[in-house]
Amino acid sequence: MRTLKGPAIFLAQFLGDTAPFNSLDSIAGWVASLGFKGVQIPTWDKRVFDLEKAATSAEYCAEFQATLAKHGLVATELSTHLQGQLVAVHPAYDEMFDGFAPESVRGNPKARQAWAVEQLMLAAQASKNLGLTAHATFSGALLWPYLYPWPQRPAGLVEQGFAELAKRWLPILDAFDKAGVDVCYEIHPGEDLHDGATFERFLAAVDNHPRANILFDPSHFVLQQLDYLAFIDRYHTRIKMFHVKDAEFNPSAQQGVYGGYESWVDRAGRFRSLGDGQVDFKQIFSKFAAYDYEGWAVLEWECALKHPEVGAEEGAKFIQQHIIKVTERAFDDFAKSGIDEAKNRKILGL
């Protein structure tokens, strides 16, 4: 067993145009002051990270790491959530997802997809240059509009959708394999990989690719009413990343899992700051300790009620309190009998 690394924080939800949230140096100082030891880096925001430079310049990578080290921090992983989403977009979402891409490829789905794939390839090399071993992303979705089978889905639609998704991701997975980095898909509503069944479909479609792995975030399982503890038992060998995020599900006469098109505040299922929701983090951290999880515990703050700076401050303490320093010896070692193999055979009558 090993002790989880952490606490770390995903910077995406905290970046802004005013200090200390508008540069790597200033936001690093802020998160370090809260007690964080690592930062997960969004690769689409040049205020903190230049993906192209990181993929091509050892000097840039050294400067980036030195800025973090000045504050006692390290980069835990890079994230391409936005770019990964654009690897596979159903036409119904073209207009809304165009905002994730540069203006030069908006309105051109093929060019946008090509740009997204190129971004993932750069992320593989950048991760290697930074000495990272895992990468966070989304899978994108071709089938999400057909989630609920009404009208009845045509025979073969799901299979064809996953075959196409695998075709798009296999060259990316191979590039990450060459770089020695795991691709961790966040299992998330809105993605074709949104639960265990869909992850297994994808895994089969990519021939059980060793780099196709999981970013585990229990909040999305609460909103789907999925057993997130049993999920760890089933998929722990593929879980290489952990977002520590809370949520609650309070169904009513008006709405349940689908939310009735309500705002986040008014939905039956909503994200909460750590400790304010329903996720059983004691059991999650216990399972990760038992299964020898080797990654980081990374706060992803998303809450419909609490101020983000309060959520971050509380979150660092919450994660630190839940990390289990694993034991190096058995609790009953004091009662060792000193029996050797010969005596064992005698005890067994052999």
Q: What is the DSSP string of 65-102?
A: HHHHHTTT-EEEEEEEHHHHHTTSB-GGGHHHHGGGS-
Residue linked to tokens 């999400």: 144
Work out the number of other CB atoms within 10 angstroms of the CB of residue 110: 8
Residue by residue, pLDDT tens for the chain (350 residues) are 889 999 999 999 999 999 999 999 999 999 999 999 999 999 999 999 999 999 999 999 999 999 999 999 999 999 999 999 999 999 999 999 999 999 999 999 999 999 999 999 999 999 999 999 999 999 999 999 999 999 999 999 999 999 999 999 999 999 999 999 999 999 999 999 999 999 999 999 999 999 999 999 999 999 999 999 999 999 999 999 999 999 999 999 999 999 999 999 999 999 999 999 999 999 999 999 999 999 999 999 999 999 999 999 999 999 999 999 998 776 666 557 777 888 888 888 98
Per-residue pLDDT at 116: 98
Measure the CA–CA gap between 316 and 175, rounded to whole angstroms.
Answer: 34
Query: 185: Cβ–Cβ under 8 A, 6 or more apart, which residues?
Result: 84, 137, 138, 139, 191, 193, 199, 202, 212, 213, 214, 215
Using alpha carbons, list the distances in angstroms from residue 265 to 160, 189, 244, 249, 332.
37, 18, 20, 12, 49
Handedness of CA 69, 71, 72, 74 (dihedral sign): negative
Measure the CA–CA gap between 196 and 184, rounded to whole angstroms.
Answer: 14
Measure the CA–CA gap between 252 and 263, rounded to whole angstroms.
Answer: 15
Query: 70: Cβ–Cβ under 8 A, 6 or more apart, which residues?
Result: 25, 28
Per-residue pLDDT at 329: 72
Per-residue pLDDT at 108: 98
Measure the CA–CA gap between 236 and 291, rounded to whole angstroms.
Answer: 7
Measure the CA–CA gap between 168 and 160, rounded to whole angstroms.
Answer: 13
Q: What pTM does this model have?
A: 0.95
Per-residue pLDDT at 61: 98
CA atoms in the 13 A half-sphere facing the CB of 74:
10
Q: Which DSSP letter does residue 294 get?
A: -
Per-residue pLDDT at 332: 61
Fold classified for 5-347 = TIM Barrel (3.20.20)
Q: Where are the domains of the chain?
A: 5-347
Q: Which DSSP letter does residue 136 get?
A: E
Measure the CA–CA gap between 100 and 83, rounded to whole angstroms.
Answer: 7
Per-residue pLDDT at 331: 66
Per-residue pLDDT at 334: 58
Max CA separation in the chain (angstroms):
80
Reading the block at residue 31, the tokens are: 């998160």
Query: 231: Cβ–Cβ under 8 A, 6 or more apart, which residues?
Result: 196, 216, 221
